[in-house]
Structures are given as structure tokens and as C-alpha cells.
Amino acid sequence: MKLFPIRGGIHPDYRKELSSERPIVPLPLPAKLFIPLQQHIGAPAEALVAPGAYVRKGQLLARGQGPVSAPQHAPASGTIEAITELPGTHPSGLPQPMIVLVPDGKDEAAPLPEPIANPFDAPPQAIRERVAQSGIVGLGGAAFPSAVKLGLGEQRPLDILLINGAECEPYLTCDDRVMREHADAIVDGARLMAHALGAPNVVIAVEANKPEAIHILNCTAAPFPNVRVTALPVQYPMGSERHLVQAVTGRETPARRLTADIGVVVHNVATARAVHLAVRSGLPLTHRVVTVSGGAVREPKNIEAPIGTPLAELVAFCGGLTIEPHRLVSGGPMMGQPLASLDVPLVKGTSGILALTTQETAEHAAGPCIRCGNCVSACPCGLVPVELAALIRKDHLDRAAALGVQDCLSCGSCAWACPSHIPLVQYFNYAKGRLNADALAQRKLEQTRTLAEARNLRLEKAAAAKRAAAAAREAAAVSANEEKVTP
């Protein structure tokens, strides 16, 4: 299959050898599970259980609120200890609502929905509804509710479902292992999603540094002429949705638009497996595969663990830490989020837990910009990071927006390539946050103005109606008096 070049990108030390040959192993059931009500982009789920309630494995614990939300299910049977606020995986460490479940070890299962019989003969809406009911979100890290993306074919003509198996972040190998060990589920899930989307073609794209996964997927997909597997160049950030689409199809996604607008929808390989399990077996998303790695981890592993497992238990299952890590990261080292501690739960969007040493983080004090242009060459979005950073330092955010700072992926390629170690991504994230906050404030101001104008109009109409009524009463009274004095 012909591939197309993408601009920029870098080639970091991938460090995947730490865990790539470690098969997926199940985690023993933790003593407690901490299940956040918000593990997705969108409104938090609404708890349907109360403290003291007994729940079964797979039972609905919280209902999604609104179209861009996702329900939460019990990963094990047991008792609800509390519904409280505890620190989450966000870098701020701020508390968020969670359901605390104490497993009883019996794994008593709740009744599950019946598998969809002959799903390729079923209406696409049936698959989308099952995916929504199962709480499936994007497992590549974005955690966008998958059922919403599967509905994009209703508004747009689509010709390709692109399954993302690039896994271009260093250290992470969970998708690689899922592709090697569950290729049949991935191919079937991809075909089911294509049916839901109305997309005639499926392309499974995998970076060339995963030859075993490519071979197994090719063998599995061989009976299906509409499913193709393609090997991608090893280049970070090849797993970025827009760049993956460009590399495979040659189509460039316009700024502020979706890849669906150019006929392509992208889903992660692990998401495809989750869809297979939901449609074929009725299983909700209660577990995920996660990579635990880094120089400070005694025995890196790929682990299938219940959602809500404390991260500390995942690390302990890997033999614990050999030294105090210099940095803890949820996700990959390039785009992952720093963790204040391991006393937070595993969530649906967590693909990796990294405990990195000082040598691996290689932090340096920032120096002055030497105008070398390395950041410009590395930027996969064609931006000019050196100019953007200069504008942001002077708080010229409107000018930075005009130069496209909102199109930044926060992939970190520019900062990685910078010989002066300038924290460029932090500048851009700050600017994007400020611009988004200002835009939100402006929308609220406009809504307030609209509501005030509508209220004034209602008051004016009410006052005019009162004046008209008073005038009518006065006219009626005058007419009545005239009738009385008429002989």
C-alpha cells in the first residue's frame, strides 16, 4: 500500500524492549477499586448505587449523562463502600467523585446483554447502542466516547475506518501485545465498527517496529478483502490521528475540522477489541491492558487490570521500584501526564504507567534560543515554535493564535529537538488554556447579553401590553360615561 510522507517528526529512543516481549498477564484482584465517575471527555456519569449496596461483576454503577458521556460498570462483584471524592490521575491531583468498591473475590457476574445475533445483518444503530451501553471510550488515551464517533457516518460520507496500531510513544507496548495476542478480536471489532459507520474499507496501520504484530494481523485479515494491514514508517508522532490519516491516505485534515470531514474515522486497536467483546459477548469495558515500565521498575510488564486499580498495586505486581523515580508518568513520556503519586486509580484512558530515572528524563536548565530552527523542522504541524514562544512570553496571545498555536498537538517534538532545552510545549499549553478560557468567558458574556436583551424585550412587551390594556379600559370607561349622559 502506498504511503505518503508527513512533515516534521522525530526519532526518540523508543525503549520498547523493556516490555515488548512480556506477554499480557492478569492482575490479581485488588483489595479495593476506586472507580471515577468521569473517565472520558464529556459530562461525568451519574451514580446509580449507594454505599452498602452489593453489586455483581459487569453491573451498571453509573449512567452516562448526555450524548458525550459514558457509563461505568463494576469490574468485580462486591460491596460499595463509599461514593466520595479522592485524588485522580489529573496532574493537579485534585479530588474527583469516585465509587469505592470492595471486591468479595467471588466474581459473581451480573446478567449481561445478549450477544447481537448476526451483527453484520443488524442495523448499524444496534452496534452503536451496544458500544454506548458498554461504556467504551477511546483506549488510545483520548477517552472520547466511541459510540459518538461511530455515529459520524450518519452525517458524512466515509470510505475508510483507520485502526491505529502505531503506538509511537516510547516505552509503551500494550497495543503491540494486544495486536499479537488478540488479532482475531481486533479484526472482528474493526469490521463491526466499519459496519456501524457505513465505511466500506478498513485499514489497520502499525509502525514497522512491530513486525510480529503486522504478520499476525495480516494472516488474520487475509479472509476479508476489505481489511488491509499496512506497515508505517517509524516516526514520532505517527500515531497522531491527523498525521496517521495523511500518511495512509495522503489527505490533509483542515484546521478545526475532523478527519471524518475528509472521509476517514480513526479508532485504536484496543478499542476495536473492546467493541468485539461488547457485541459478541455483551461484556462492558471493565478492564484494560496497561504497560508498566521505566528504568525504576524492577520487572516491566503488560498487565490486564480492572479499571479502578490503584497504580501502586500495578507497580507492586511488577516487583516494585528499584530506586526512587525522578518522574512518574501516566501514558507515554512525550504526551503523558505527570503523576504526583501512585495513590490514584487506573482509568480507561491509561495506556502506561512509567517510573523514570534521572538518566531517562535528562532534564536540563533552559538556555537562550539560538535560532537554530530545529523546532521548526521537527514540528509535524508546520508551525514555527520559536516565533510562537516569543509571542507567548510577551503575552501576545492573539498573535500566537493567528500563527496557529491552537493547532499544536502538544506532541513535544519541538522541545525534544531544542538544543537549548526550552520548555516549548509548556508555553503552548499555557497559551491554549488561556485562549480557551478567554473564548469561554466571551461566550458566557454573549449569552448573558442575549439573555439580558431577551429579558428587556419581554419587559417592554409586558409594559406595552399593560399600557394597551389600561388605554382600552380608559376608552371603555369614557364610552360608558358618554352613554350615561346621552338622553
Q: Report if residue 53 sits inside a domain.
A: no
Q: Is the pLDDT of residue 402 over 90?
A: yes
The model's pTM is 0.90
Residues 220 and 184: their CA atoms lie apart, in Å, by: 6
In this structure, are 13 and 143 located in the same domain?
Answer: yes
CB 413 within 8 A of CB 237: yes
- For residues 279-292, average pLDDT: 97
Query: For residues 474 and 469, what is the distance between their CA atoms, to the nearest angstrom?
Result: 9
Nearest alpha-carbon partner for 274 in 185, 350, 200: 185
Q: Is the pLDDT of residue 212 over 60?
A: yes
Indicate if the pLDDT at residue 487 is higher than 60.
no
Mean pLDDT of 342-354: 95
282 shares its domain with 305 = yes
Quote the cell numbers at residue 471: 388605554
Please name which of 181, 168, 141 lies closest in space to residue 24, comparing C-alpha atoms: 181
Using DSSP's 3-state secondary structure scheme, residue 240 falls into: coil
Residue 271 and residue 321 share a domain: yes
Give the chain's domain count: 2
Q: Given its phi and psi angles, is residue 395 left (phi above 0), alpha (psi -120 to 50 degrees) or beta?
A: left
Compute the distance between CA of residue 77 and CA of residue 108 in angstroms, rounded to an integer.
6
Domain that holds residue 264: 1-27+127-363
**Does residue 135 share a domain with residue 14?**
yes
C-alpha cell at 119: 451483527
174-189 pLDDT per residue, tens: 999 999 999 999 999 9
Q: Is residue 138 domain-resident?
A: yes
Question: 321, 336, 363: which is the final residue of a domain?
Answer: 363
Q: Are residues 418 and 284 in the same domain?
A: no
Let me know whether 207 and 284 are in one domain: yes
Question: Highest-confidence range of 135-149, 296-310, 436-450, by mean pLDDT?
Answer: 296-310
- Residue ending a domain, choose from 316, 344, 363: 363
Q: Are residues 274 and 385 in the same domain?
A: no
pLDDT at residue 88 in the model: 84
Query: Is residue 481 located within the same domain as residue 384?
Result: yes
Q: Is residue 121 included in any domain, yes or no?
A: no
335 secondary structure, DSSP code: T
What pLDDT score was predicted for residue 97? 94
Of 324, 341, 363, the position where a domain reaches its end is 363
Distant-in-sequence, close-in-space partners of 316: CB < 8 Å, separation ≥ 6: none
CATH number for the domain spanning 397: value is: 1.10.1060
Q: Is 342 domain-assigned?
A: yes
69-97 per-position pLDDT tens digit: 899 999 999 999 999 999 888 766 778 99
C-alpha cell at 150: 461511530
Q: Are 357 and 386 contained in the same domain?
A: no
**Three-state DSSP class for 469?**
helix
Q: Is 380 found in the same domain as 354? A: no
pLDDT tens by residue, 36-51 = 998 888 888 999 999 9
Helix, strand, coil percent content, the chain, rounded in steps of 5: 35, 20, 45
